[in-house]
Amino acid sequence: MQESQSAATPFAPASLSSVIGVRVQPGPIRLAVIDTDSGFVRVLAKRVGEMGWQQRVLTAAPRPDELVSMRLHALVVDLALFGERGWEFLAQVCESVPGLAVIVCTGSSSVAQRVRGLRLGADDWITKPCHPQEVIARVEAVVRRRKRGAPGAAQDRPVVAGELEIRPDQFQAFVGGQSIDLTRREFELLHLLANAGGRVLERDDIYQHVWGYAMVRGDRSVDVFVRKVRQKIERFSPGWTYIHTHFGIGYRFEPEVPDEDTPGPELEPEESERFMLPGQ
């Protein structure tokens, strides 16, 4: 009964460990680099990959709406690529994608240029040549600062799956606007699974991520909580199956309405099939 995984993302496939990761973030940082310096890009990409971040390398300026659709956390850009239009690009990006961390990484520059760049909205300005570790550290610093800015889970967008709506800002899931009444652990479990992009997550990984420490052999907590979540969802979204068991492995999230006849007696299946994979 093994099932195939979901489609690949535009980003380099992230390892499971990076999804479950060490608690740096709700997930790995999504980073884009705009540069043509192949040596620099290669070295940086290697380090970024080691960090478990997702990355994209661009050699030309994307449109602002493309940047938005990439759902980036940070952008590293060499303004030299753009010549005179660099300032314009920088200003436009900073204005149209205010949540995006912008780090300029470019060759030698004057104080006046750096000040201008920072004033236009850049978050940092690094002078080449530079060490990739420093670039990474500065990206981290900027992203960290950005997340601290807004209390509450403004960073996570709601996920709609089948009749379910998972809202990180409420630490709660809803069906038809009504709260499922999940506890914190239950919610985190569901949230983790729903954001795994259809992958099967192993028990140990789930436990590690939701409970925060390593699972001891024989611990049934994950199973018990999966049951609780299933029950609570079933009460409000009968007929649907969201959490699938993979024997000997773990669990996988995917909304599935068992064929036909018994749709919702009262619940309209309006938002069916609207499952969106988180970001990417």
Partner DNA sequence: AGGGATGTGAAAAGGATGTGAACTGCCTCC
Partner DNA sequence: GGAGGCAGTTCACATCCTTTTCACATCCCT
Whether the CA torsion 186, 255, 251, 52 is positive or negative: it is negative
Nearer to a copy of itself, 56 or 185 (CB): 185
* Nearest-approach distance from CB 2 to a copy of itself, in angstroms: 30
Q: Which amino acid makes up residue 197?
A: G
Helices (H), the chain: 16-20, 38-51, 64-69, 86-96, 111-120, 132-149, 184-194, 203-211, 221-236
Provide, rounded to whole angstroms, the least separation between the CB of residue 5 and a copy of itself: 27
248 binds DNA (CB under 7 A): yes
Cβ distance to a copy of itself smaller for residue 12 or 118: 118
User: Under the criterion CB under 8 A, does residue 115 sit at the interface with a copy of itself?
Assistant: yes
Q: In the block, which residue shows the tokens 């993979």?
A: 246
- Find which of DNA, a copy of itself, none residue 226 binds, CB within 5 to 8 Å per kind: DNA
Q: How far is the CB of 150 from a copy of itself (least distance, A)?
A: 4
Amino acid identity, position 196 = A
| Angle formed at CA 41 by CA 38 and CA 45, multiple of 5 degrees | 140
Cα 222 to Cα 236: distance, rounded to the nearest angstrom: 22
Which H or E run contains 58? strand 54-58
- DSSP label at 81? G
The single-letter DSSP state of residue 82 is G
Q: How far apart are CA 271 and CA 253, in angstroms?
A: 17
Is 171 near DNA (CB under 7 A)?
A: no
**Least CB distance from residue 186 to DNA, whole Å?**
6
Looking only at the bridges linking them, the beta strands covering 159-161 and 241-246 are unpaired
39 lies in the binding site for a copy of itself (CB under 8 A): no
Tell which one of 9, 25, 92, 170 touches a copy of itself (CB under 8 A).
170
Partner interacting with residue 101 (select from a copy of itself, DNA, none; CB below 5-8 Å by kind): a copy of itself
Is 131 a binding residue for a copy of itself by CB under 8 A? The answer is yes
CA 41 to chain centre: 23
Q: Which residues bind a copy of itself (CB under 8 A)?
A: 22, 98-99, 101, 111-112, 114-115, 118-119, 121-124, 131, 133-134, 136-138, 140-142, 144-154, 169-172, 177-179, 183-185, 192, 196, 199-202, 205-206, 208-209, 246-249, 252, 268, 271
Residues near DNA (CB under 7 A): 1, 183-186, 203, 211, 219-221, 223-227, 230-231, 245, 247-250
